Chain A
Amino acid sequence: MALFEVKNIIKSFGKAEVLKDISFEQEEGSVLSIIGSSGSGKTTLLRCITGLETADSGFIRVEDRVLFDSSSTVKLTGEEKRLNQLTTGLVFQSFNLFPQYTVLDNVMLARKLTSVKELKRKKASKAEIAEATEMLKEEAISLIESVGLSDKLTYYPCELSGGQQQRVAIARALMLSPKILCFDEPTSALDPQITVEVLKVIANLAKQGRTMVIVTHEMGFAKEVSDKIIFMDDGIIAEEGTPEQIFDNPKTPALRAFLSSMIKV
């Protein structure tokens, strides 16, 4: 059974049908890239997967956890919703770091809030809370190191370049250990010369066997890093396959047209 399964997802905004019956599967440890022109529904699909939008109908499952099932009437508890939420992680196009927190606190905040709340509920002592926080801090520092920013721990987001901010955002998402890490055009807000530093971090994660879904316009990167590529066109999956199939042997006219429009100068 595939790790990640998306079945028959349909989503409309008003009269506009943005996703028209999307289904795919993804194996553990693989990288799936979603390509397609603007307005093809890539970002909406990612937002449905990560719970920022609720699909009109369909089914989404990761391992044995059902994230969304339009045919189910089961009411989820708050804790179940939170666990569902944490199954996926998302790195935004516009980073969305928390401006008033340092790099370290951005990465730690969510975990720290949950852990402190949990420990207080268990009536833990102050020393125990401090110890738990210290462990989180070490974990956060090693993640920040892994994205090459160990010298920026105490910096605020406004003191960092776009590429650095995005790397912090990646560390922040990793801190929650999501089963599936999603990227929504992670380099589209960056200057071309600094996209490389972010792409390197993502490629590194791919090497380590992280399961990732990447919406991207970086065709060279998608070809290099992906195990599977989905080409979306007007709300449907127009074509899917290995990078070789997609880039070297496109079958549909839509994909051919799209690829020729993306050819680098």
Chain B
Amino acid sequence: MSGPSFLNVTIDLLTGFLDNLELFGLTLLFSLPLGLIVTFGSMSKFKPLAWFTKVFVWIIRGTPLMLQIFVVYYVPGLVFEVPMRERMLAAIIAFVINYSCYFSEIYRGGIESISKGQYEAGQVLGMTKTQTFFRVVLLQVVKRILPPMSNEIITLVKDTSLARIIAVPEILMCAERFTGKGLIWPLFYTAVFFLVFNGVLTLLFGYLEKKLNYFRS
């Protein structure tokens, strides 16, 4: 009797990888802007807010993402008696919070690296602080943070597999089902999916960096 064919395994793993992609896409969609809000919080002149944000970022960056996924999944049920029914939703929430904090620190580094002269030039030209930030500073920040952001985003692709610990049927969990039936190679085969997707991302970031090469700051 023969085991599942290569094609069957591929389709099965691809189905699982769709979960990884969904988690990846939604995490990016929400954490990219949310990270900016966290940045503004940690850079706020209102000290209690800055302090509160920094402690929050410290907790999120200082504990394992895996633990955070458990917390989001189990705590609502255990403490508030509103059980989290959607595993994927729990994973998305944990990932968005986690990655917002990481992104916020990259943003902060980028924003603080822009010379004071740019803000002062905006001011003496009568531009508002908002205009100066969004029309002058932001694109320079984007250019500066592209390399660390691409690093972080590639890490996110691989981190999506952590959702497996609350039984989101992502690619590694799918592969492990085969392992349970005595078939080990699908587990190693998953690497191909990650490599291909990260390859595409690497090309995309290279393209973006090139696109922003027309100016130096």
Contact = CB atoms under 8 A, between A and B. Distances in A.
B120 A52 contact: yes
Contact of A52 (B123, B125, B127, B139): B123
Nearest to A158: B216
A52 B122 CA distance: 11
Nearest to A169: B121
Contact of A96 (B118, B128, B139, B215): B118
Contacts of B120: 52, 90, 92, 96
A251 B135 CA distance: 50
A: interface residue count bin: 20 to 34
A219 interface: no
A127 interface: no
Given A100-B215, A109-B135, A176 B117 contact: no
A110 B125 contact: yes
A76 interface: no
Interface in A48-104: 50-52, 78, 82, 85-86, 88-90, 92, 94, 96-100
A84 to B, nearest CB: 9
Interface in B92-142: 115, 117-118, 120-128, 131, 135-136, 139-140
A98 B121 contact: yes
A156 B118 contact: no
A11 interface: no
Interface of A: 50-52, 78, 82, 85-86, 88-90, 92, 94, 96-100, 109-110, 113-114, 156-158, 172-173, 176
A156 B121 contact: no
B117 A98 contact: no
B80 interface: no
B118 A98 contact: yes
Contacts of A110: 122, 125-127
Nearest to A110: B125
A50 B215 contact: no
A90 B140 contact: no
Nearest to A47: B120
Contact of A85 (B123, B143, B216, B217): B123
B200 to A, nearest CB: 27
